[in-house]
């Protein structure tokens, strides 16, 4: 079944650690996105990609990096986690149409 997968589902990590949030999709979508969402708040775009070796920064990109080496894989890396990074991170993809399919999200807590 075509889908979009995020791992881990939950992560608790210490300040200063480097972390990578994984996102993979099996739908063959060219476009992939990372959003950050705090409880009760709107989604903020972190990074997006329109294809292999193509990445763009969103509004909250300054403290993270992404790569797109394969179509199906779009990992997000925080080089040095801080408590302010505590949030839910949502990965999404889209194909020919504009509608996004979201993964289940990674809930990150930095202590």
Interface residue with another protein, options 62, 69, 97, 111 (CB under 8 A):
97
Q: Report if residue 100 touches another protein, rule: CB under 8 A.
A: yes
Query: Torsion over CA of 66, 67, 70 and 71, rounded to 10 degrees?
Result: 50
Query: What φ, ψ does residue 61 adopt, rounded to 5°?
Result: -85, -10
Distance in Å from the first CA to the final CA of the chain: 36
Q: Report if residue 104 touches another protein, rule: CB under 8 A.
A: yes
Contact window for another protein (CB under 8 A) among 15-23, 68-76, 78-86, 90-98: 90-98
Entry field: residues in the chain: 111
Binding site for another protein (CB under 8 A): 33, 35, 40-43, 45, 48, 58, 90, 97-105
């Amino acid at each position: 079944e075509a889908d979009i997968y995020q791992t881990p589902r939950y992560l608790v990590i210490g300040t200063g650690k480097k972390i990578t949030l994984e996102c993979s999709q099996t739908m063959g979508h060219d476009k992939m996105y990372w959003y950050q969402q705090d409880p009760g708040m709107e989604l903020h775009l972190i990074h997006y990609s329109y294809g292999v070796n193509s990445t763009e920064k969103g509004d909250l990109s300054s403290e993270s990096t992404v790569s797109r080496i394969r179509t199906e894989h779009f990992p997000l890396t925080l080089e040095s986690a801080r408590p302010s990074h505590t949030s839910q991170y949502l990965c999404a993809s889209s194909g020919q149409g504009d509608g996004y399919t979201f993964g289940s999200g990674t809930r990150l807590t930095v202590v």
